[in-house]
Structure 1
Amino acid sequence: MKLTSSITDYDQKWPSLFLEEAGRLWSVFGDACIDIHHVGSTAVEGLAAKPEIDVLVVVSSAKALDNWQAELTGLGYKRGGDLAEGHHFFKRDVGGKRTHKLHVCVSGHSQINRMLGIRDHLRSNSADRRAYAELKFHLEKENRTGIAEYLAGKAPFLDQLIRKIQTRA
């Protein structure tokens, strides 16, 4: 079964696509928005990825989540299942293709440090970046059931990276 998108070599356009989307998102979250980060594989120069821009919005509170959801719908986003308590997920497709994944987390949520830590580690560690790309291509090739299988296959590698990052800290 196919993933939401095929994995491709790094595209130099990904950072500008992130900046464009971040500009559209700031007004949605208003004063609650603390920061907007480019995360995921498209945020790591040289890393192969599904061409889906991962955006992390850090907010001071999620009290206005229903209002944000209505505004995000106007921007083409659909609510996905929350990835964890307090980790709200949205996805945007254009022309039938996934283009963006939006993670909204309240400041202090553990997923913020996880996403930023993995991104920053892969940006500075070429060996782990290569190993991760090879794993992703392998998982895509062997995939039989879809995105859940692919994500489960990546999880041990990412958990190992987090342990590596934490032991260095």
Structure 2
Amino acid sequence: MALTSKISLYNPQWPLAFAAERERIAPGFADDLLAIHHVGSTAVPGLAAKPEIDVLLVVARHRDEVLREAFMATLGYVRGSDLSVGHQFYRRDVQGVRTHKVHVCLVGHGQIQRMLGFRDLLRTDVELRQRYQELKLQLEASNRDGIGEYLARKAPFIDGVMDSQQA
């Protein structure tokens, strides 16, 4: 089983793709929307990544979920399983290739600080960014069972980095 897309060198168009998607998504969350962030590897200049734009929406509350899901469908998104209580997930594929992921988190959700914190560390720490890139390329090369395996094998690295920030 393949990954949702192949890791490629950093593309300076990724922030522009995020900005365009931010404009498309924002109207569907209206007054509940508190912030929209570019997260994930495509948000880190110089980092090789799967060319999938990760978007983090911080919302005051989850409401009108049927309407929001219908709105997101008009943009080509499919609702995935909630990743945890208060953390909804949408994905968009184009011709069978994942292009975007949207995380919708309630304000105060722990994943917000985790995603932003890891992104910011990668942006500022060249050595950490290089180690993470090497790990990602190694995991891609050895992957046999798809995205679930890839994510599970990246998690200990991310956990270790984030735990060291708490100490």
Amino acid of the residue matched to residue 57 of structure 1? Answer: L
What per-residue deviation string (whole Å, max 9, x for no partner) do you get for residues 88-126 of structure 1? 000001222111000000100000000000000100001
Aligned residue for 1:46, secondary structure, equals coil
Task: Find the counterpart in structure 1 of residue 110 from structure 2.
Answer: 110
Unaligned runs of 5+ in 2: none
2 CA distance for matches of 1:62 and 1:133? 34
Residue 29 of structure 1, CA deviation:
0.3
Task: Find the counterpart in structure 1 of residue 67 from structure 2.
Answer: 67
2 CA distance for matches of 1:165 and 1:47? 21
Residue 139 of structure 1, CA deviation:
0.3
2 CA distance for matches of 1:65 and 1:32? 12
Residue 20 of structure 1, CA deviation:
0.2
Amino acid of the residue matched to residue 27 of structure 1? Answer: P
Task: Find the counterpart in structure 1 of residue 94 from structure 2.
Answer: 94
Aligned residue for 1:85, secondary structure, equals coil
Unaligned runs of 5+ in 1: none
Residue 161 of structure 1, CA deviation:
1.1
Task: Find the counterpart in structure 1 of residue 39 from structure 2.
Answer: 39
Q: Is the 8 A contact 1:117 1:165 kept in 2?
A: no
Task: Find the counterpart in structure 2 of residue 16 from structure 1.
Answer: 16
Task: Find the counterpart in structure 1 of residue 2 from structure 2.
Answer: 2
Task: Tell me the TM-score normalized by structure 1.
Answer: 0.97
Task: Find the counterpart in structure 2 of residue 28 from structure 1.
Answer: 28
User: 1:124-139 residue pairs with structure 2 within 5 A?
Assistant: 124-139=124-139
The answer to whether the aligner puts 1:121 opposite 2:121 as a matched pair is: yes
2 CA distance for matches of 1:66 and 1:118? 31
1 CA distance for matches of 2:52 and 2:153? 19
The answer to whether the aligner puts 1:76 opposite 2:72 as a matched pair is: no
Aligned residue for 1:25, secondary structure, equals helix
What is the aligned length?
A: 167
Q: Is the 8 A contact 1:89 1:103 kept in 2?
A: yes
CA RMSD of aligned residues (A): 0.8
What per-residue deviation string (whole Å, max 9, x for no partner) do you get for residues 27-49 of structure 1? 01000000000000000001111
1 CA distance for matches of 2:5 and 2:84? 23
Aligned residue for 1:18, secondary structure, equals helix
Aligned residue for 2:29, secondary structure, equals helix
Residue 164 of structure 1, CA deviation:
2.1
